[in-house]
């Protein structure tokens, strides 16, 4: 999906998932070692230009979005901001008492650099809070759950997120609570989303949420262990569906990462849910993976870029043999097909995890999505 205002323009936004069950992915580049977590106090402001931007002839409020998550250790220069409507910096980590932590000075510096670079392309920058893994170890679920379960810590977390959004000249916040596992969790998430919406939207900032696919990759049936209160989606601009990581369903099977039939069932589920609850389907954003899952679980995942670098012909297939195993992924043709599927169902755009895993040049998956979305944007502009 294409991607996010303090610029006096209220725009529709996203939310992925960012954090996903896969954890940290590997490409040809060595991933930096995490630096010491830092609590976000008052920081110097970034230098994003606050001048009012002209709205292009093709209104961004009507065009399809392309949202790209970007991990905090990633060099901001590798992101193709020209294709994204929103870049989602991942992650801020919630503490049980409602504070937030970032991954050291390098993360803060990368965030500020991203804001500057994104501004050159009129791309919004969103800060994602949560993710699957917590900076202090283990899953983010427990500290996030604790923070939003208590009214005082929930308000504190809302204020911390709104404050950093203002201070760093961000365009909004993305909620990536993985995952609400009870009706109580769902109610607390809804209350959190409403309170955060009340803080962000009057300032022209956006709010998005990353959501679990809710469909079992093997049986195609609804997964009941993740619970959402539909009213939650009233408060957000974009609902980023993490339509991947199916390899863990029904016993490990890399082929179930994110095949097209699995995505069809996910799209049908969320379409029906939104229709039933009279929610606008334009909020829905379909997420796609930019990484490959190995059939041998003892071998690490690799990026789409690594696969294409091995052989450009791999860009148009969905499997490859390398590193002593078979990898399953989404090539250009599958990504294009999924983009059209989402558009045909009235979705608002596409989301990708993660921008740093894409290849450059003619085989870029970001470019493949962008060009498919352009077709629909041109149709919208003529209406």
As a whole number, the mean pLDDT across the chain is 88
pLDDT band at residue 381 under the 50/70/90 scheme? confident
The percent of residues above 70 in pLDDT, for the chain, comes to: 84
Q: Please indicate, yes or no, if residue 16 is contained in any of the structural domains.
A: no
Q: Please indicate, yes or no, if residue 235 is contained in any of the structural domains.
A: yes
User: CA separation (Å) from 191 to 39, 126, 146, 205?
Assistant: 24, 20, 13, 18
DSSP secondary structure code for residue 54 in this structure: P
* pTM for the full predicted model: 0.86
Q: Please indicate, yes or no, if residue 234 is contained in any of the structural domains.
A: yes
More confident residue, 366 or 39: 366
Q: Cβ(300)–Cβ(311) under 8 Å?
A: no
Backbone phi, psi, residue 294, to 5°: -85, 145
Q: Please indicate, yes or no, if residue 8 is contained in any of the structural domains.
A: no
pLDDT band at residue 199 under the 50/70/90 scheme? very high
Q: Which residue has the tokens 């803080």?
A: 199
How many domains are there within the chain?
A: 1
Q: Please indicate, yes or no, if residue 281 is contained in any of the structural domains.
A: yes
Q: Please indicate, yes or no, if residue 17 is contained in any of the structural domains.
A: no
Q: What is the CA radius of gyration of the chain?
A: 19
Q: Please indicate, yes or no, if residue 224 is contained in any of the structural domains.
A: yes
Looking at the DSSP bridge assignments, the partners of residue 92 are 129
Domain that holds residue 303: 38-382
Residue 281 has pLDDT above 60, yes or no: yes
- Indicate which CATH number applies to the domain containing 308: 3.20.20.80
Q: Cβ(180)–Cβ(186) under 8 Å?
A: yes
Q: Please indicate, yes or no, if residue 279 is contained in any of the structural domains.
A: yes
């Amino acid at each position: 999906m294409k991607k996010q205002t303090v610029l006096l323009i209220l725009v529709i936004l996203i939310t992925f998932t960012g954090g996903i069950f896969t954890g940290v992915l590997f490409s040809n580049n060595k991933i930096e070692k995490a630096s010491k977590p830092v609590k976000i106090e008052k920081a110097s402001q970034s230098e994003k230009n606050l001048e009012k931007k002209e709205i292009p002839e093709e209104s961004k409020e009507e065009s399809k979005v392309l949202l790209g998550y970007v991990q905090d250790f990633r060099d901001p220069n590798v992101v193709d901001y020209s294709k994204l409507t929103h870049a989602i910096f991942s992650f801020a980590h919630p503490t049980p008492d409602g504070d937030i932590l970032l991954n050291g000075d390098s993360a803060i510096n990368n965030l500020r650099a991203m804001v500057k670079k994104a501004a050159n392309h009129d791309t919004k920058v969103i800060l994602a809070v949560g993710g699957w893994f917590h900076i202090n170890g283990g899953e983010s679920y427990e500290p996030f759950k604790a923070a939003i379960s208590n009214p005082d810590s929930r308000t504190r977390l809302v204020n911390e997120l709104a404050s950093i959004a203002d201070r760093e000249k961000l365009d909004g916040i993305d909620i990536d609570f993985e995952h609400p596992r009870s009706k109580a969790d769902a109610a607390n998430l809804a209350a959190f989303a409403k309170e955060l919406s009340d803080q962000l939207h009057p300032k022209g900032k956006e709010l998005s949420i990353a959501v679990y696919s809710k469909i079992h990759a093997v049986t195609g049936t609804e997964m009941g262990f993740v619970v959402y209160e539909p009213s939650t989606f009233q408060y957000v601009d974009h609902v980023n569906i993490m339509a991947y990581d199916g390899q863990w369903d029904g016993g490990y099977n890399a082929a179930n990462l994110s095949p097209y039939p699995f995505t069809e069932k996910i799209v049908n589920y969320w379409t029906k849910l939104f229709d039933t609850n009279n929610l606008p389907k334009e909020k829905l954003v379909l997420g796609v993976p930019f990484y490959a899952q190995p059939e041998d679980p003892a071998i690490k995942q690799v990026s789409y870029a690594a696969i294409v670098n091995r052989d450009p012909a791999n860009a148009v297939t969905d499997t490859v043999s390398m590193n002593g195993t078979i990898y399953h992924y989404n090539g250009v043709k599958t990504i294009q097909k999924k983009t059209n599927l989402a558009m045909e169902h009235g979705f608002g755009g596409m989301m990708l995890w993660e921008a740093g895993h894409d290849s450059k040049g003619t085989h870029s998956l970001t470019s493949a999505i962008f060009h498919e979305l352009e077709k629909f944007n041109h149709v919208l502009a003529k209406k």
